[in-house]
Amino acid sequence: MKLLIVAGSTRLASFNRKLAHAAADLARAAGAEVTHLELADFDIPMYNADLEARGTPADVMKLKQLMFEHPAWIICSPEYNGSYTALLKNTIDWVSSPVKSDPAWQDGFKSFSGKVVGMLSASPGALGGLRSQSHLAPLLLNAQCWVAPQAFALGHAGDAFDAQGQLVNEKHRGSVQAVIDQVLFAAGRLSH
């Protein structure tokens, strides 16, 4: 199963990027073919329809194709003001916008439709960014994704990783594993 993992933060010491790394390791061990996306590697401006009218940026096209090619996704979503980050929203807005000049990309939800998405989040706070997930889920459903019922929010994230960026608590690893297992299970059945 081709699994895409991405974090909604580009911060160097980001907890969500660490969580994405940990999830990628666990998913590879579970036999998934993992693509670990770093949004910092994509040159994507703030969405503006006037800018888009001059041509969809090449990195948006790259992302559309990558997301389209992966039936299963894990999104590690930081929480800003009780919601997901502008980075994540901006990325999703670009990817979901139809490319008027390209017949292959007239359907804005082409990259989203039918994807099985597992949500993880991490925050220094006690709730672990859970509220970002409660905003992200309806967005994904609207974009025709299947959102996995199993999700995990890692609270007190500052204490959760060792110096190598590994999750120190076995229970946390188990919670991440449960999301991965459900996403791989569901994607395996829904993508045929």
Binding site for ligand FMN (CB under 6 A): 9, 11, 14-16, 78-82, 123-125, 127, 129
CB-nearer residue toward ligand FMN: 153 or 180: 153
Q: Are 144 and 68 in contact (CB under 8 A)?
A: no
- Measured from the CB of residue 65, what is the shortest distance to ligand FMN in angstroms? 26
Least distance between ligand FMN and beta carbon 133 (Å): 11
Spatial contact of 7 and 19, defined as CB atoms under 8 Å apart: yes
- For tokens 């699994």, the residue is 3
Q: How far is the CB of 109 from ligand FMN (least distance, A)?
A: 27
The CA distance from 37 to 5, in Å, is: 6
Q: 119 forms bridges with which residues in the sheet?
A: 75
Nearer to ligand FMN among residue 11 and residue 100 (C-beta): 11
CB of 86 to ligand FMN, least distance (A): 9
Residue placing its CB nearer to ligand FMN in the complex, 82 or 114: 82
Q: Residue 31, Cα to own-chain centre: how many angstroms?
A: 19
- Residue placing its CB nearer to ligand FMN in the complex, 2 or 156: 156
* Number of helices and strands in the chain (H, E): 6, 6
Residue 59 amino acid letter: D
- C-alpha distances (whole Å) from 153 to each of 2, 13, 48, 60, 124 are 23, 18, 32, 28, 11
Closer residue to ligand FMN, CB minimum distance, 84 or 105: 84
**Least distance (Å) between residue 77 CB and ligand FMN:** 9
Asked if 123 contacts 9 with a C-beta cutoff of 8 angstroms, the reply is no
